[in-house]
Every structure is written in C-alpha cells, then in structure tokens.
Amino acid sequence: MAAGENRLKIKEVIVVEGKYDKNTLSQAVDATIITTGGFSLFKDKGLRALLLRLARERGVIVLTDADGAGLVIRNRLRGFLPPELVRHAYIPAREGKEKRKKLAGKAGLLGVEGMTPEVLRAALINAGATEREGERRPVTKRDLYEWGLSGGPNSAKLRRRLQEKLSLPKNLSAKALCEVLTMLGLYEQAAAYIVQDEGDGPRA
C-alpha cells in the first residue's frame, strides 16, 4: 500500500502553525490544512473571515505545538471562532528537536512536525475528527482559464468580481482562488455565476 493510500480523510479544516507542520500532517491525513504562519493569522482580517466561514460550513480542528506559543495561538483562535464549531487536538509533550533544526525550541519539546503519522492521526481521532465521505469537485487552473479568470487581460478584475460575489477575501491569486473555491465546495456556484455574468453583457 502506498503511503498516500493510508491517509485518513477528514471533513474538518485543520489549523496548524507553520508550513513544516502542514507538510508532516499532509502525510498522515487527507484534509484541508491551513497555517497560521505563527501569529500572522491574527493580523489578516481576510484570512480570519475565511477561517470563520470554514468553521461554520465544515468545522475546525486546532492542532498546535505543545509549548507556550501553541497555547497562545489556541487561545487566540478561541477568541474569534465559535466554540461549538471548534475541536482541539493535542500532541503528547515529548522532549526532543526536529531533524532540520540545529537547536531544540525554548520548551525543548517536539512540535507537530516531529510527530509520526500514527500519533497525529490518533490525536485527530481523539479530538472527534469526522471521516469525510465522497469528494468535492476541485477547482483547477484550467477551470479559471476557461472562465476567463486566468491568462487574460481582464482576469484579475474578473477574479475580484467573483470574489466579491461569493464573499471571499479580496486580492486572491489564481492559485489561492482555486484552493479557496475547492475548500468551500463552490465549484457549481462559481460556474453558475460565470454563466450569469456572461449573460449580463461584455465583461471588459
């Protein structure tokens, strides 16, 4: 069995701290994973609004490191996400450091990126993760191109119009728009809007 075939498919959006956490977790589960970029998330109103929307539509699982910074991020997320929509997954407090680091962190503990896939899956299951059934229709770069939202002179303007129509964060790149539309399961709505928009007349 290939490594990817053993990944647990999870419905909820999982929030982790950084890209290395995301890379490690993506080897253990098939899920939408959002990084906070440390404390950067809390300065980005658009990203906070998106996370709130995802929580309402799919639920959120918070999975941070077992140190002080991880606790701060959990508490900040508790501050703007409805508690009934959020579940908290915890990794064990194990001493050590990740291979890529020269020195251990201040707390001397392994973070999410230092955990095995088995430990991460167990943490998510214990938090009440919901196994996903079926697959969402992904939105691809080809879809954007065919809709006129990529590769054309007015593509950026048309993307902003679609983002406004669907109440999405402003100034998303084409790649980010694909990811957000897929996360929210908005392929059909986006496609329907494009058809409607074309029917309203020239889009230049």
Whether the predicted pLDDT of 180 surpasses 60: yes
Residue 171 in this model has a pLDDT that exceeds 80? no
Percent of the chain with pLDDT strictly greater than 90: 56
- Determine the pLDDT at residue 134: 66
Contact of 56 with 167, CB cutoff 8 Å: no
Confidence class for position 197, pLDDT limits 50, 70, 90: low
Q: What are the Cα distances from residue 49, in Å, to 1, 42, 46, 87, 186? A: 39, 11, 5, 18, 16
Q: Is the pTM of this model over 0.85?
A: no
Output DSSP code: residue 57: H
Question: What is the rounded distance in angstroms from the CA atom of residue 13 to the CA atom of residue 170?
Answer: 21
At residue 127, does pLDDT exceed 80? yes
pLDDT mean across residues, the chain: 87
Q: For residue 77, with 0-12 CB atoms within 10 Å meaning exposed, 13-18 middle and 19 or more buried, which class applies?
A: buried
